Structure 1
């Protein structure tokens, strides 16, 4: 099967550890490899239709420390649609509204009915066809600067594409990293949060040629700047860290090393602040009280509560005689999800 890699950090980083491990996944995905990143507003893509482990270019990149970016997208290919060639090797790129989009996909789609508009594939893959269709839809919607309502629309659009087959994808506009995991659980993506204080991690691939201690560990504190924080997304875990699985049909949008949107879980920032306020309250809590506790405006709190209700993390108290958006409406956390919420709170606070 093909495998995907994504990275989103708050500061430009070198993908030394993640790329070295991911590159070895090319042993089982022999038909091509690619790595894309953004040195500035434009994208740089290195890719070849050969096994990553046999590539002199790939060998050079894994040791080249001058590559730095806040966003990376990687792919190793096992050909299922289209011949083994450069034009069929991921990631693919196109310009739209002055932004350079980069896209990689894992899965198989029956794609003939997907409209393309002005975007035409160069190769023969279902992946590039889906990418062109997606850009056509974004162009039709006129999305230049992404907003939360656009993320919600995108989640529905990706689920719609997913109806044509198996579909995991990672793509970027140079600012956001969009990661979608198949709605039927096919090769679901997973992610890990990298943040200080950094300790040691154990590598899952025993033949990584990287500086290890005698127990096959690497000390991240020697690899990362203390202010660096972000996420790594992959088809399979690369390390022994606590990787979390995407929910089926989940879209997570990362920006500057933070989760700013998910259609399945609370996003960092406003939604988590509101959820924490509700969970820590010893009794039901009103919208007005949440606003006072979090220092957020009523508009922000109402928007977060709407999202958390939709994702089934909270409930409105049934004794209320007002609508959920009224200041006096009261809420409590969903009892069946409190353990999950506590884990999210612990991860969010760094406890």
Structure 2
């Protein structure tokens, strides 16, 4: 399986600490050595890095770790290939444009023999993940409109996520830069950091950070990951079928859908 990492914050924040922990799992402390990618929102723009090699030994990933790119929303992925070749076209996160915004998506899981429905969005690579993303974007485009409320969009996202999760394993992160939608089919965890801030130690690297020295009293930063990234903080584990919609570091909508056997 792959691993996910997302961030939602109320102020532009760098992802260096969490990204460092995730990259170690890409071919060092974990087996996810078949590619990696990260996307940072800057307004409506997206700055993205992708590579079809292991993140733990990547010079590009090292640059991202040490360069404090600040964003309110970010999505990262490290890949352990199960469907599709190991190549750049198959690295997450994937991006598509809709209604003047870039939508960014990353998936952890597998849906065997997935067949996307007809629509204008088509996959470039040969992963089930990208086909699912294109199917989801086609459904959003056909069932909604440019000025749709966030409540309407959330309803569509939850219905589609539940449908995908009933066909296989579907843990995902999706954003259009304004919000971050997260869905747990099997495994996902989150932590929200706010004042009073304290230190934290990565599980996968000998790195500690004192967040009090890096933040202000008004900062709210939430991290969502497949597995907790730190060893000395209390992470909140999602339940199978649980979804949360994040904005500015806070959960603004949440719920749970019924999944077979879970």
> TM-score scaled by structure 2?
0.92
- 1:131-146 matches, within 5 Å, as 131-144=133-146, 145-146=148-149
- Does the C-alpha gap of structure 1 residues 137 and 37 become closer, same or farther in structure 2, counting only changes over 3 Å? same
* 2:115–2:131 CA contact under 8 A, matched in 1: no
Alpha-carbon distance between aligned partners in 1 of 2:32 and 2:247, rounded to the nearest angstrom: 29
- 1:272-283 matches, within 5 Å, as none
1:245: Cα distance to partner? 1.1
For the pair 1:238 / 2:235, whether they are aligned, the reply is no
Alpha-carbon distance between aligned partners in 2 of 1:57 and 1:116, rounded to the nearest angstrom: 36
Match of 2:244 in 1: 252
More helix by share: 1
> TM-score scaled by structure 1?
0.69
The structure with the largest alpha-carbon Rg is 1
SS at match of 1:58: helix
Q: Between Structure 1 and Structure 2, how many residues are aligned?
A: 252
- 1:1-351 matches, within 5 Å, as 1-27=1-27, 28-65=31-68, 67-144=69-146, 145-182=148-185, 186=186, 188-205=187-204, 207-208=205-206, 210=207, 212=208, 218-239=209-230, 240-264=232-256
* 1:111–1:164 CA contact under 8 A, matched in 2: no
Structure with the larger RCO, 1 or 2 (CA within 8 Å, 6+ apart): 2
SS at match of 1:151: helix
For structure 2, the residue ranges without an aligned partner over 5 or more in a row are: 258-262
Match of 1:288 in 2: none
Alpha-carbon distance between aligned partners in 2 of 1:231 and 1:179, rounded to the nearest angstrom: 12
Alpha-carbon distance between aligned partners in 2 of 1:123 and 1:113, rounded to the nearest angstrom: 14
1:166: Cα distance to partner? 0.8
Match of 1:311 in 2: none
1:257: Cα distance to partner? 1.0
* 2:39–2:74 CA contact under 8 A, matched in 1: yes
* 2:140–2:153 CA contact under 8 A, matched in 1: no
* 1:200–1:221 CA contact under 8 A, matched in 2: yes
* 1:155–1:250 CA contact under 8 A, matched in 2: no
Match of 2:260 in 1: none
* 1:190–1:236 CA contact under 8 A, matched in 2: yes
More strand by share: 2
For structure 1, the residue ranges without an aligned partner over 5 or more in a row are: 213-217, 266-351
